[in-house]
Amino acid sequence: MVRLACNVRGSVSLPGDKSISHRYAMLAALADGPSRLENYSTGADCASTLGCLRSLGVKWERKDGADNVIEVQGSALSLVAPNEPLDCGNSGSTIRMLSGIVAAQRFSIEMSGDESLSRRPMERVIAPLTAMGAQITSQNGRPPLRITGTTLKAIDYKMPVASAQVKTCLLFAGLLAEGETRIEEPLRTRDHGELALRAFGAQLDRKGNEVRIRGGQRLRGIEARVPGDLSSAAFFLCAAALFPGSQLTLTSLLMNPTRARLLDILMQMGLRISVRQLEEIHGELVGTLQVTGGKLKGATIAGADTAALIDEIPVLAAIAPYTEQGIEVRDAKELRVKESDRIASIATNLRAMGAELEEREDGLRIPGGQSLRGAEVESFGDHRIAMAFSIAALRAQGETLIRGSECAAISYPAFFPTLESLVER
């Protein structure tokens, strides 16, 4: 249950970024020697990655303490066949990116997940991995995936859909393949895969929307602290944006330029953001944000911005009725095949709270200047929908019940207590 608030104030340190945590764990598993990963993501998705790695013979342990440290003993590129199917849970990142690694192993494997994951499209990794030599069967392009690995051959691949998960899958496969793999994106996506590979000692070349990696390179273990998750920070940033005069500090936060478009958009909308203590760690920019709320204007999210903000669109859309000019989202058909059909989920919940909007095949148009009322809304089993509507509820008259809100644990188990600690009533 979320109630009307009057302000947001305080300081928060976010759990480790999910995207980086997945990639660091997978590369640490392949590296020569141990890796120590501090502030590893607390979300269930990243736990799914660790579980799959353990099934593949990778030794790791979680150290006691507040920093959520994971120590991984690298396998030196040598994994073992699991005794049972790999359970990827709800994690599309796990199944897509790890498939690029297991496709290069000399054994057969099955990768599955929960009901939500079983509806998500996998043809985008099946097609290029098959072209590299792997044998993969699926349920009409959806999990479970049955992969018979082999010695992979490098390919030149032009991705039909912009996806950082697919790009990383192919970079990992390319690292283990014979020859040089070239990947071209239709739009620039987050580059955590490239930066993580370099952090572990791999060489690759990036030019525009093209990246190349040579197979056969060895990786070395690292010590790293995963920066705070910017996608999780989006919910608190949007909460602060709802209240003129709010004061919020976010420490040790990921500031990667391929992810920081969210900050640009929020600043254009009227949120005042200053960056302090900016530094580069293993290629990733990390800083502390100081945030003050102001009048909230509208925005249009389309094209490259849509690709850059794909995880943050739900919460931006959830606060759109409170903006002056509203928010329009275009070119976002990818949202239809996330953990839920996020376009439909957003539209359903906003209407339940009294908003007027237009739902389109590839997006939404949500007018501003509206008031919302507390209501009973659905998470649809989707962590980002549950968290997004907890933010919308902070300005809604009355109480809002979010059914299935426990799914927030997929990415951020402590989300609701953290939000409550920052809210003033």
3-state secondary structure of 251: strand
User: Cβ(425)–Cβ(3) under 8 Å?
Assistant: yes
- Please name the amino acid found at residue 100: G
3-state secondary structure of 395: helix
- Alpha-carbon Rg for the chain in angstroms: 21
* Secondary structure (DSSP) of 260-319: THHHHHHHHHT-EEEEEEEEEETTEEEEEEEEE------EEE-THHHHHTTTTHHHHHHH
d(CA 249, CA 12): 6
Long-range contacts of 31-34 (CB under 8 A, 24+ apart): 31/72, 31/74, 31/76, 31/200, 31/201, 31/219, 31/220, 31/221, 31/222, 32/74, 32/76, 32/218, 32/219, 32/220, 32/221, 33/74, 33/220, 33/221, 34/71, 34/72, 34/73, 34/74, 34/221
> Cα dihedral sign for 189, 23, 412, 385?
positive
For 1, half-sphere exposure in the C-beta direction (CA atoms, 13 angstrom radius) is 4
d(CA 180, CA 193): 17
Q: Which residue carries 């620039």 as its tokens?
A: 188
Q: Of 269, 275, 199, whose CA–CA distance to 230 is shortest?
A: 275
d(CA 180, CA 214): 4
Q: Of 337, 317, 258, whose CA–CA distance to 92 is shortest?
A: 337
3-state secondary structure of 42: coil
Angle at 30 between CA 26 and CA 35, to 5 degrees: 75
3-state secondary structure of 28: helix
Q: Catalytic site residues?
A: 311
